[in-house]
Structure 1
Amino acid sequence: MKPLRSLACVVALVILGLSLMAAPAQAAAASISLSPAKGPAGTTVTVTGTGFPKKSSGTVSAGTSSAAFKASASGYFTADIVIPQTSQPVLDVQAVSGTVRASTGFTLLAAPAAEPSPPGISSSPLRFGVGTPGGPLAGSELDQVASLAGEAPSVILSYKDFNQAPPITELNAVRSRGATTLLTWEPWAWGGGSEQPAYTLKRISAGNFDPYLREWGTALASWGHPVMLRFGHEMNGNWYPWAEGINGNEPGDFAAAWRHVHDVVAATGATNITWVWNPNVPYWGSTPLDGLYPGSAYVDAVALDGYNWGTSAAWSSWVSPSELFGYGLAELSRLAPGKEVLVAETASAEQGGSKADWNTALISYLAARADVTAVVWFNFNKETDWRINSSTSSAAALASALAAR
């Protein structure tokens, strides 16, 4: 009997093995995953599914949002869905294909705070402008000034010497900000000091620089948008080689050079230029303005540069805005009646008084004058800290004064 019993056992095992081989494999359970799995409402989420019926169609849903999907031959799919607004901290995301269903949760996070809109340009008749160390291409510097002042500058000051090409890229950068360039054109080589025989006023008038002048005129004419050009600013001082009485220059030379530069540039068709004649505020010993003025036909606007040095220098003392600019503005009105007037460079030191009070007084004083159309802040830490934010109180006062004008 033992052999028969053994044979029966073998047969039973074979039958059992065959039945196991014939049985279908158990299908893997369907599942989904999310990427990302958390975020604010409005987040686009990629839903990845596995284990769904082969080549089946289905729907992914999350609250009020839904998206269709089609599984691959292996039961895999991906679908994108946007997370809707909901009060639930965790939103159920489901994928359904026929009777097969899988779900998981998306964790809702608070939306990030919206970035504040940058300050815009004021519509005030007194325009606010600025010059910064990096110039028109230093967007971060200009943005910082806008933040400090509570408004974006509508005039941006820049400087070029007689060895530099027309700054069309910079002009475009300023224009893209909705501002106007106040372009300082200096007839010298930067860093060469006040005695530069190659740049005497007589050489300019004699035509030695005419090809260069025509290059600038042609480029500005081709560019075609408004630009304010101040040639040889602060000519009544003694610190630049275009001043009379130094560098071989004689009385009458500056006005003659100005007229020559104007005529050569104008002949290129650059009618988009506003010619800005710009002395320093007159001081004891400065060159009288009458002999420096080239005539009304050669000037579109006039300007002054003036700084309150306070006690930052051994020779200086605190001066109010009216003391600083009063006489010079009267002189401009006498020489150039009816011309637009700008304060093209100004700032105050901290030493010797309250810079905050000075800033407030400056804007109030200039805003009360119908002839002054712009004030341009020299935002440099140079001879002293002229910057708007040399102190917190200075920045706050200027912003408040600009807002109140």
Structure 2
Amino acid sequence: MRKNRLVRFLVAGLVLPLAVVLGIAVPSEAAGRAGVALSTSAGPAGASVTVTGTGFARQSSGTLTAGSSTIPFTTGANGSFAADVTIPASTAATVVVTAKSGKTSASAPYSVTYSPASTSAGRDSAAMASSAPITMAAPAQMSTTTVNLPISSDPLRFGVSTPGGPLATSELDAVATLVNENPSIVMSYKDFSQAAPIADLNAVDARGATSLITWEPWLWSGNGANQPAYALDRITAGDFDTYITQWGTALAAWDKPVMLRFAHEMNGNWYPWAESANGNQAGDYVAAWRHVHDVVAATGATNVQWLWSPNVPYWGSTPLSGLYPGAGYVDVVGLDGYNWGTAASWSSWTSPSALFGDGLTALRSLAPGKPIIISETGSAEAGGSKADWNTALVSYLAAQSDVTAFVWFHHNKEVDWRINSSTSSANALATALAARNS
């Protein structure tokens, strides 16, 4: 047996170099174990993915398959190849990409984060093809009762975000009852796996309010700020253009005013679209914003107002000057800011003027003449009087002629930001809102 092994070893050692010299294709066993790698392992259907293969027979032809997409490839003298394949629409969460040449094959999975054929897109995807405003049935669990309270006509608009979003009518009614007026802005959140929320838009419109969608280019189920598939340069490169176009088409078809807050709080480090995270580089954010804006604009979605919304500047945050996309790409500017009080070890009680003052100055310098929205705010109870803070907030913002709205983050999350975290808090905000109308 040892002798036979030695003979086979010597033959292989002579045949392989000779075959290379003569240009003869060598079986894949001689070329090595076959494998394929994808330029990105996750993204939307319609994305173009570069597939790199190694270990195949040298100078041989093969077929690359991704679902229903099939393209040919040819390996080089070292048995490798690189080819681009388009990920097709699929109802499956994973599309297997397979390269096959002769009897040799290798595969790699691609996770589909969004597909117009997926059941999660459902009715919204079908609605995208319509040029008429879209009416969608509400889920069975949604209350259809709306509190009969007015929306204020004051120049400082009151908006809200609640845990259940626009379809949770009972939550919005509860907020209206607390402050004695219906919110004129309802904000919701969507990641890059979700279709344009036409049902949400219809629900908010039925209340006489304006929708503000926070559109986040990542997966909520992903690995926090480390999501390379959603790096800013991948967005700019067009990996998500099919998905973005779907959104633009749907919003254009809806044809009523909607505010789109794309990739907010970009000057921090807690989201994968921050330039200080996820392998992003300086300049990537502006390039990605402009690309997304242009793709949506190309669908004819002139009803979209673009809201650029950083966090209030803090020590160590990325300077806003390098993150502003430019006047032609932004309609409204915003700020997110919270009074954490003493709820965190690093925080202290912060008045509304101290919280927002520097940020408002920066926005006015970067975007002169643009309307300003406080796009997220709230206060903790610990460390001071939340009731007094609420009163001061409305008074301070009402005195800023270019601040047109504020949106209260009515969630019990890191701390209890809700308006009614205490009775005194709710009463104070209601009184302050009523006073601004006088």
TM over 0.5: yes
Matched, 1:151 2:181: yes
Q: 2: CA distance between counterparts of 1:246 and 1:325? A: 25
Q: Which residue of 1 aligns with 2:368?
A: 337
Q: What whole-Å deviation, never above 9, does each CA across 1:378-403 have from its counterpart, x for those lacking one?
A: 00000000000000000000000000
Deviation readout 1:23-61 (Å, 9 max, x if unpaired): xxxxxxxxxxxxxxxxxxxxxxxxxxxxxxxxxxxxxxx
Q: Which amino acid aligns with 1:164?
A: Q
Instruction: Tell me the secondary structure at the aligned position of residue 186 of structure 2.
Output: strand
Residue identity matched to 1:281: V
Say whether the 8 Å CA contact 1:196–1:241 is kept in structure 2: yes
* Correspondence for 1:186: 216
Deviation at 1:118, TM superposition (A): 2.4
**Match of 2:418?**
387
Q: Equivalent pairs: percent with the same residue?
A: 72
Number of aligned positions between the proteins: 291
1:117, distance to aligned residue in structure 2 (A): 6.6
> Is 1:236 matched up with 2:264?
no
Quick check: which has more Rg, 1 or 2? 1
Deviation at 1:191, TM superposition (A): 3.0
Q: 2:258 aligns with which of 223, 227, 231?
A: 227
1:140 maps to: 170
Query: How far 1:245 moved relative to its partner?
Result: 1.8
Cα deviation, 1:146-167, whole Å, max 9, x if unaligned, reads: 0001100000010000000010
Tell me whether 1:126 sits opposite 2:153 in the alignment: no
Q: Which runs of 5+ in 1 are unaligned?
A: 1-114
- Of 405, 426, 430, the residue aligned with 1:374 is 405
Is 1:253 paired with 2:284?
Answer: yes
Q: Partners in 2 of 1:117 and 1:295 — Cα distance?
A: 40
CA gap of 1:117–1:132, structure 2 versus 1, over 3 A, is closer
Q: Is the 8 A contact 1:237 1:243 kept in 2?
A: yes
Q: How much does 1:246 deviate?
A: 1.0
Q: Which amino acid aligns with 1:172?
A: N
Q: Secondary structure at the match of 2:166?
A: helix
TM-score, normalising length: structure 2 = 0.66
Q: Which runs of 5+ in 2 are unaligned?
A: 1-144
8 A Cα contact 1:118 1:147, kept in partner = no
Q: Which residue of 2 aligns with 1:352?
A: 383
Choose which of 185, 204, 224 in structure 2 pairs with 1:174. 204
Root-mean-square deviation (CA, aligned residues, Å) is 1.1
- Among 396, 399, 402, the residue aligned to 1:365: 396
In the TM superposition, what whole-angstrom CA distance separates every residue of 1:311-336 from its partner, at most 9, and x where no partner exists?
Answer: 00111000000000000001000000
Q: In the alignment, which residue of structure 1 is the partner of 2:195?
A: 165
In 2, distance between residues paired with 1:144 and 1:228? Answer: 24
Q: Are 1:279 and 2:310 an aligned pair?
A: yes
Please tell me the residue identity of whatever aligns with 1:165.
A
CA contact 1:309–1:349 (8 Å) conserved in 2:
yes
- Match in the other structure for 2:11: none
Q: Deviations over 1:151-200 (max 9, x none)?
A: 00000010000000010000000000000011000000003201000100
Counterpart CA distance in 1 for 2:304 and 2:399 is 27
After TM superposition, the score normalised by the length of structure 1 is 0.71
Rounded Cα–Cα distance in structure 2 between residues aligned with 1:274 and 1:249? 26
Distance 2:147 2:192 in 1: 39
